[in-house]
Every structure is written in structure tokens, then in C-alpha cells.
Amino acid sequence: MKKLMFAKNLKYLRQKYNMEQLDLSQQLGRKSSSSISEWEKGKYTPKANILSDISEIFHVSLSDLMTTDLSLSTNYAISSNHIIKQDSIKVMESVDYQITKPYEKQFNEWNKDKQHINNNKKIIYFKEGDIWWVSLGINIGVEIDGKKNHFERPVIILKRVNYHSAIIIPLTSTIRENDDRFVNYEIDGIKKSANISQIRMIDTKRFRRKAKIKLPIDNFREIKSRLKKYL
């Protein structure tokens, strides 16, 4: 049942976003659209990490994606650009889950924080291989966002451009297996992942604090090597 509902919702959301199967497959880091076609036909469902990516792309909760007929639901008003939750959050009595509010990007809050960050005149001392917490902010579409206070996220300093800027790779606690976009590593027994597909240059004004943990040199070399192959 979940497999068929997912298949129906995937096709519905993709078409409402005016996306071709190839467009979606490219956002998921796939070279062809064959898997998308098979998912929409209900032949099988993707792995958990891919389901999570799909729910993030369409800004819909994973539980809704798998169990709610979004084409009939009054909880969502869907346009070609976004999904807006209309009703309040409801608990469904027939199944053991709660419809959660879709992720809403807090652009207004980030714009206020960004003005303060831009006025930051503190000199930052950093080097390649360092891990820093930085204010990545709220970005567009599937571009990775910061979280919680000051919209922060840990990043690895890939290359120092100059005193005021660096090329960074965002880090995440979500582990992706067999995915060229992610390089998994382990520090003090805790698994993490570097999202090399989200590489970017940032101003050091975004830097907030240096992480206490240090990335082993072998892991840093692996990230650089995998990035070179990915690009």
C-alpha cells in the first residue's frame, strides 16, 4: 500500500513542480531517469536516504509522502513553485503517525541575522582542514541551509582563498551510503558525512567558532580525492 501511495505522490508532486523525470533524477545525483520511472510505476521504492532527499526536494514530510494521497488532501495547496500547508496539524486516527508541517524556510529571520553578520569586523584565523561552525543561512531550493540559532552548520575548510574567504564543504550527521555526493568519515566513534555536492565559497564573516573536534588528515585527503573525482 505504501509503495503504491508513494508512486502516486511522486508523480503528482513532480508534475506539479513542472519537472521531467530526468530533472528529478539529476537533483538526486542519478545519471538516468530509469529509476524514477520504476518508482512512479510502483515497481519498488527507493532506499530511506533517497526518500529523505525526495521529501526535502518537494518540502513535504516523509510520512505524508508515503501514506497520504496528496492529490486529494486538503492539507496542501500545491503550486508549480511551492507547497503551503493550509490546515493545522492533525493527528490521523486510522494510522499511527502525525502529519507534520512541511519545512518552511525562514527567510525573514535570516535576513535580519544576515545584516548583523555583514557588519562583523572580527579577524578570523583559520587554515585548511579546520572544522568551523558557520552561519550558512537560509538558501534557495535544495541548497543546504543552516539550522537553529544563527542558522549554523559545521563545515570543513577545503581551501583558504584569502584572509576574508574560504572554500568550504558542509558537514552533516546524515549518513549516505553509495552516494557520490557524500563522503563518510568517523571522529571519536561518531559517523559524519561531508556533502561535497554543496561545495561553495563563503566570507569569513560567517565564521562563528572553531569546532573542538579535528578531522584526521587521512579523512581530509579522502574528501579532496573524492571531490576531484566528483567534479
List the domains of the chain with CATH numbers: 2-98 (1.10.260.40), 107-230 (2.30.30.110)
DSSP state letter for 176: -
Could you tell me if 75 and 99 are in contact, meaning their C-beta atoms sit under 8 angstroms apart? yes
Q: How confident is the model at residue 199 (pLDDT cuts 50, 70, 90)?
A: very high
Give 80's pLDDT tier (boundaries 50, 70, 90). very low
For the cut 70, the answer to whether the pLDDT of residue 209 exceeds it is: yes
Look at residue 36 in the predicted model and tell me its pLDDT. Answer: 92
Q: What is the band of 89 on the pLDDT scale with cuts at 50, 70, 90? A: very low
- Give pLDDT, residue 48: 85
Q: Which residues make Cβ contacts (< 8 Å) with residue 82, sequence separation at least 6?
A: 59
Work out the average pLDDT over 163-168. Answer: 95
Kindly state the average pLDDT of the residues 153-173: 94
Q: What is the pLDDT of residues 15-67, one digit of tens each?
A: 887 888 888 887 787 778 899 999 999 998 998 888 888 887 887 888 888 98
C-alpha cell at 195: 556533502
pLDDT of residue 91: 33
To the nearest 5 percent, what fractions of the chain are helix, strand and coil?
35, 25, 40
Pairing of β 91-92 and β 83-85: unpaired
Q: What is the pLDDT of residue 25?
A: 83
pTM: 0.61
Mean predicted lDDT score pLDDT of the chain: 83
Q: In angstroms, rounded to a whole number, what is the distance separating the alpha carbons of residues 75 and 86? A: 5
Mean pLDDT of 194-223: 94
**What is the spatial distance between Cα 119 and Cα 128, in angstroms, rounded to a whole number?**
25
